[in-house]
A and B are shown apart, each in its own frame.
Chain A
Amino acid sequence: MKQKKSLSKRLRAKDETALEDIMSQYTRLVTSVIYNIGKNILSREDIEETAMDTFITLWKNADKVNDETLQGYICCIAKTKTFDKIDKLKRTYLNCSEEDIEDPFTLEPMIEDKITAEIIGNIIEAMPQPDKEIVIRYYYYHQTTADISLLMDINRQTVKTKLAKARKTIRNDLMKRGYDL
């Protein structure tokens, strides 16, 4: 049986129904990421507008999309658009939690190229459960430790401990690979 083209292929071909399908699949995710970042800052209308910007940007950059990275790419656009929106609103937007302030370790400068991103992805991939899920929820979907604790029914302190352990793991692994951190 002939297979239906993948979403990314259809999107690259500027197939409008592909975008519709993507929106059906990812709108809740996109609005959730936006909400998690812009909590208490963005109004419902702001979130909707940012979500629209996200999908329109995706449509314009369809040539950069493939199925494997689609979800991550959408999350990435949503995050960037959210910060843009918040900047535009000239409001304070830092969503800090206590462990972030205490730990100067940041992954952002390292995510500058595909190789590093993939290495970090693989490190996270290799983590046991529930650590991996906690990391993904926290860093990729911007859920708070309190939310993660509630949703996964895991002690909040445990969540924090595991995040700290994950950071340590990533740091050590990257240093072993010659990264200067």
Chain B
Amino acid sequence: MKKNIFDSKYFFIPSVNDIDMATIYNDNGTDEEHIKNMVLSEIRKTHYIRSKKRRIAVTLIAAALSVSILATGAFAAIDRFGTAFGDITRGNSDSVKVSDEKEYSINSIGNDLDIDVLGITGDDNTAYISLELRKKDGSNIVEDDSSFIGYNFSSGNEFNSPVADEDSIYISVNDVKYQQVGNNSKYAQSGYGSWKYISYNKIFSEDPGKSIADSQENLSEHKAVKTVPSDNGKALKMFIKYIISSDTPKEKTMNIICRGITEYHYGRKLKTYAKDYQGDIYNDVLNEFNYNSIYGEVVDEADGSKSFVEITNKKLDINFDISLKLNYDGTGKNVKLSSADAQKLFGDKNMSNAEINISSFGIDISSDKGSVNGIQEIDFYDTDKNRIIMKDGREYGMIQIIETGTDDSEFINTEYCELWEFNAPGNDYFENFKNADILLLNTDEIDRVIINGVTIPIR
């Protein structure tokens, strides 16, 4: 029998904030309006019968409740977070055509920001995106303050000893996610497809080469974000550089979700922030307000008492989402397997013209024979047998291989890859997920891959 985990009356659904409910619904031919009318008719019928008997009592109770509410000021306590954030403005829709081959479109959501695309340049492998952020009201986006404390929203770790440069500005950019737009157009538009999460936080000082987070985050250059205040603090320039590669023309969407950093809150030290918009602490609030604010638990250093506070509109309030849609021609790498390797890999003596293709989307294996049964025996969680070894020695495990045989099987239709650090110390299964630095593969950096124990050089 199908397993159900919502049998309890206490059941709640873990939130998936990005889930597109339209894809949950199906066309079952029912008439919603009819259902609604019938239900209302039914409860009104019941209510009418009851109300005749209870009319006097209800009137008295209502009067008593009114007095009670007024006396306790209960209205003031209702939904205390409700109006803190103002309207969310959707705008800055833009399309920048960089070359005949590449087209980029920008959609941003910012509460009070204008986000302009200053330029996007790049080549087949690298995109440089330059953005400028300004407050709609013309006020300074950067304010002098020497007590900024940056937080890693994903890990919740505090960045100790931030550089207290008056002109510095710190941004935590988290949850950058790549998306390969799939065949389902509705889904693609809503931001789904084969996902690759790149979760990172990097805080830069004004010095382009200096990252105050470097010591805490093992980040690679291809995910660099740098911000620089300009125009006397009225603007903030953001430079994003990332490297892409693919063997076929792809369309991708990159979402950058930026949440403001703040400082000490009313003299109390912020100990915990909402991890991110998927955090499990503040979903109800964040859901309602489209994640346009950050909430956190505050610990009063004087007496250790804790409270739950809104953390916005402080020294730096630059919450925004940017969605970049990229069309580009990338480059990938195909490696012809030796017959011996192919045989070991596929367990099939007749395998011929076997190829492994490594792209930014995953690892595809194909053969003109079509039989790829051997691959299905791979235990993707066996990180001894399945690894990617980069030229600089980094190793990654958990390779998922997508078969692209010619047998028109169901395995052909998706390219998907996930991998995470194999040799990170102390990482167990969950820890790996939590701290995953999931890479968009750059084929040039790969030295070899090991699939099912078979080492395949990628050079």
Which residues of A come within 8 Å of B, CB atoms? 1-6, 14, 16, 19-20, 23-24, 27-29, 31-32, 34-37, 44, 47-48, 51-52, 55-56, 59, 64, 67-69, 71-73, 75-76, 79-80, 94-97, 100, 105-108, 111-114, 116-118, 120-122, 124-130, 132-133, 136-137, 139-143, 149-158, 161, 165, 169, 172
Q: How far is the CA of A62 from the CA of B14 in the complex (A)?
A: 21
B31 at the interface (CB under 8 A from A): yes
Q: Which of chain B's residues has its CB closest to A101's CB?
A: B1
Asked whether A19 lies within 8 Å of B39 as measured between CB atoms, the reply is yes
Taking A52-B42, A67-B284 as contacts, is the C-beta distance between A27 and B380 under 8 angstroms? no
Q: Which of chain A's residues has its CB closest to B188's CB?
A: A153
Cβ-defined partner of A3 (8 Å) among B12, B83, B416: B83
CB distance from A21 to the nearest CB of B (A): 11
**Chain A interface main SS type:** helix
Taking A47-B28, A76-B7 as contacts, is the C-beta distance between A142 and B12 under 8 angstroms? no
Asked whether B284 lies within 8 Å of A68 as measured between CB atoms, the reply is yes
Taking A48-B31, A117-B11 as contacts, is the C-beta distance between A126 and B430 under 8 angstroms? yes
B187 at the interface (CB under 8 A from A): yes
Asked whether A120 lies within 8 Å of B192 as measured between CB atoms, the reply is no
Q: How far is the CA of A170 from the CA of B257 in the complex (A)?
A: 29
- What number of B residues sit within 8 Å (CB to CB) of A? 73
Q: How far is the CA of A29 from the CA of B433 in the complex (A)?
A: 30
New A-B contacts (15) at CB < 8 Å, excluding given A108-B4, A129-B278, A153-B193? A23-B39, A27-B30, A32-B25, A44-B29, A51-B35, A64-B9, A67-B284, A72-B13, A107-B5, A121-B12, A128-B197, A128-B433, A129-B18, A129-B177, A154-B414
CB distance from A1 to the nearest CB of B (A): 5
The 4 A-B residue pairs with the shortest CB-CB distance, nearest first, are A153-B182, A3-B79, A35-B28, A114-B10
B16 at the interface (CB under 8 A from A): yes
Q: How far is the CA of A150 from the CA of B24 in the complex (A)?
A: 12
- Tally of A-B Cβ pairs under 8 angstroms: 228
B410 at the interface (CB under 8 A from A): yes
Q: How far is the CA of A140 from the CA of B15 in the complex (A)?
A: 11
Asked whether B14 lies within 8 Å of A132 as measured between CB atoms, the reply is yes
Asked whether B284 lies within 8 Å of A125 as measured between CB atoms, the reply is no
Cβ-defined partner of B8 (8 Å) among A47, A112, A158: A112
Q: Which of chain B's residues has its CB closest to A42's CB?
A: B28
Asked whether A153 lies within 8 Å of B42 as measured between CB atoms, the reply is no
Q: How far is the CA of A55 from the CA of B288 in the complex (A)?
A: 23
Asked whether A75 lies within 8 Å of B13 as measured between CB atoms, the reply is yes
B78 at the interface (CB under 8 A from A): yes
A-facing mask of B31-64, CB < 8 A → 1, else 0?
A: 1101110111011100100000000000000000
Asked whether A95 lies within 8 Å of B436 as measured between CB atoms, the reply is no
Asked whether A137 lies within 8 Å of B24 as measured between CB atoms, the reply is yes
Can you spell out 29 A-B residue pairs with CB atoms less than 8 angstroms apart? A2-B78, A3-B79, A16-B47, A24-B36, A32-B24, A64-B9, A69-B10, A76-B11, A79-B6, A79-B7, A94-B2, A95-B2, A108-B3, A108-B4, A111-B6, A112-B8, A114-B8, A117-B12, A118-B10, A120-B5, A136-B19, A139-B6, A149-B414, A151-B192, A152-B182, A152-B193, A155-B410, A158-B400, A165-B381
